[in-house]
Structure 1
Amino acid sequence: MDHSGHGMSGMDGMTMDLPPFTLGRGLEFSADPFFLIGCLVGLGLYGWGVLRLRRRGDAWPVGRTVAWVVGVLSVGVVMNTKLNDYGMVMFSVHMVQHMIISMLSPILLLLGGPMTLALRALPPAGRGRKGPRELLLMLLHSRYMRVITHPAFTIPMFIASLYGLYFTPLFDFLMESKTGHIAMMVHFLMVGVVFFWPIMGVDPGPHRPGYIMRMLELFAGMPFHAFFGIALMMATEPMISTYSDPPASLGIEALADQNAAGGIAWAFSEIPSVLVLIALIFQWYRSEQRTARRADRRADRDGDQELAAYNAYLASLQTRGQ
């Protein structure tokens, strides 16, 4: 097979003349209109929701706002800088993009609670009518959402996004066009969202198992992620046609770059797991605290009722004595 000309030369000829990669060059601004507009819209709508709540005197946790902003910025950085350009011709840089947008960005976005914010900020449409809030509620409780957030769907999809994409001709096909590349990155983001949402998302959803089950769901997919990275690291020849003949200006060797990509994929199977585990333990702790407070209030209320009944009994005895 002739691999000459791979590296997105047909899509963007300038990527063939990129100088050797450095972090400084990688972080230079290089806008992708689709993701730039998407990030700005995401920040704008979230900001509108927070301001709407505050104007009517309702609070919104600062931590959720910070998580959402950092999550959107993480997408913006990997898709609107030279990282995106280098990712077209360097497997290792592409893998950084993939890991961030599929495993780090979704966690941060979900911790922002965008659905909860929308449900609180959007006004009710009124009796007998359906507005944006009602349509969002219908979506959250729909059969479609129950299917795509069920572990029987999310875990296989999470695994297939690695093996079914990179180890088949589908990846090369998508990388041949700008539209295909955007669709692939959006897919990575959405797969990460539906995978992590039932596990540690703060928004309401169709599936919300107990905390032990959530941990099991988390660790069910991670070994396959690690094996994918190890397969790339141990390969003795380039496995992805798109990256099999990197431009000479980069000064890299295809197999070494692929091994580096595998190392990045392997390492990233650990980092998000730790972050999600910390978030789960924190959520579990807060849930137990709320349960304990409710039990204390119930006990206090029952105690007050018992005391009132006892006092009434004493009063009745006194009345009889008189």
Structure 2
Amino acid sequence: MSPWLPGALAAVVLVGGYLTLLARRPAGLPPWPAWRTAAWVAGALTAAAALAPPLTEAAGGDHRAHMAQHLLLGMYAPLGLVAAAPVRLALGSLPTRGARRLSGLLRSRLLQVLSHPVVAAVLNVGGMVLLYLTPLHERAAASPALTAVVLAHFLLAGWLYTWSVAGPDPAPHRPGLPVRLGVLVVAAGAHAYLAKTLYARAVEGHHGTAHAEAGAQLMYYGGDGAELLLAVMLLAGWYRRARPRASSPGTRVAEA
């Protein structure tokens, strides 16, 4: 199997699925914003880049490459995939039965629990703590199957966390802005603390190479950039929803 296949397959499935939904969108609905489609393509290509051989082949023995994978899959790709509002697109494009099933899933107790920002943050940051502060990282580096599980967790947990905090899609049980903003601040602090802990352990010689120090620094500064973009997404979404009510009471403006 070509080492390029996993990344290429991920990009084809993600982009192809989104464009299929877009092509099935009824003509009577408002035009779908092009920037949302561009955001999805950017997120899909970012995920594909994280799975490309230059990173996957180096990640087993180079902490810098591994951290680059973590950032791309778990923090940057989800920003584009969530900003693209795929659930909103699907609700307008699926047949009536499919849209009802999706609406039921959004209201389900399981999704209500998993998509709460606190739970999503624990799954996301807690998974990193488990990976990096236990022998799991070394075991994953020696096992292709376990590495695949770790990479899948990066993407899925990062997407769930990003969606729970700043997703534009309908979410009947999503808490208000203060809760989501508070979770974002705490999770960002926990991520930074983990990066500093890894750097300190590298300096003390627990992992023994300059690559470990550079990887921890990449995690720290790269994480700051992603969290800043997530905060911008959260506040911009809140502003878009609040502006119509403030400027023209009683008038509802459909959010794209």
The CA deviation at 1:211 is 2.0
Instruction: Tell me the residue number matched to 2:213.
Output: 259
Select which of 149, 157, 160 maps to 1:183. Answer: 149
Distance 1:150 1:284 in 2: 17
1:201 matched to 2:173: no
Confirm or deny: 8 A CA contact 1:30 1:82 kept in the other structure.
no
Q: CA deviation at 1:121?
A: 0.6
Q: Is the 8 A contact 1:115 1:203 kept in 2?
A: yes
The number of residues matched between the two structures is: 249
Whether the 8 Å contact between 1:238 and 1:258 is mirrored in structure 2 is no
Does the CA contact (< 8 Å) of 2:118 and 2:183 recur in 1?
no
The residue type equivalent to 2:84 in the other structure is G
CA gap of 1:117–1:219, structure 2 versus 1, over 3 A, is: same
Which of 215, 236, 246 does residue 282 from structure 1 map onto? 236
Give percent identity, aligned residues only: 27
1:268 paired residue number: 222
Q: Structure 1 residue 171 and structure 2 residue 137: aligned?
A: yes
| CA distance 1:280–1:225, shift in 2 (3 Å) | same
- The superposition leaves residues 55-77 of structure 1 with CA deviations (integer Å, 9 ceiling, x where unpaired) of 55641111111110000000011
Deviation at 1:293, TM superposition (A): 4.9
Match of 1:213 in 2: 179
Query: Alignment partner of 1:269: what SS?
Result: helix
CA distance in 2, matches of 1:184, 1:36: 19
Tell me which residue corresponds to 1:53.
25
Deviation at 1:98, TM superposition (A): 0.4
Segments of structure 1 that go 5 or more residues without pairing to the other structure are 1-28, 126-131, 240-253, 299-322
Aligned partner of 1:148 among 93, 98, 114: 114
Counterpart code for 1:143: R
1:119 to 2:73 alignment: no
1:65 aligned to 2:37? yes
Give the whole-Å Cα distance in 2 for the aligned partners of 1:57 and 1:203: 17
Q: CA-atom RMSD, angstroms?
A: 2.0
TM superposition shift of 1:85: 1.0
Asked if structure 2 preserves the Cα contact closer than 8 Å seen for 1:68 and 1:109, the reply is yes
Q: Which has the larger radius of gyration?
A: 1
Shift in CA distance, 150/61, structure 1 to aligned 2, threshold 3 Å = same
Give the deviation of 1:221 after TM superposition: 0.7
1:163, distance to aligned residue in structure 2 (A) = 1.5
Q: Aligned ranges for residues 1-322 of structure 1 at < 5 Å? A: 30-31=3-4, 33-53=5-25, 55=27, 58-125=30-97, 132-235=98-201, 236-239=204-207, 254-295=208-249, 297=251
Shift of 1:207: 3.1
Cα distance change of structure 1 residues 133 and 54 upon mapping to structure 2, 3 Å threshold:
closer
- TM-score using structure 1 length: 0.72
Q: Structure 2: give runs of 5+ residues left out of the alignment.
A: none
Q: 1:201 to 1:84 in 2, by over 3 A?
A: same
Is the Cα–Cα contact under 8 Å of residues 245 and 251 in structure 2 kept in the other structure?
no
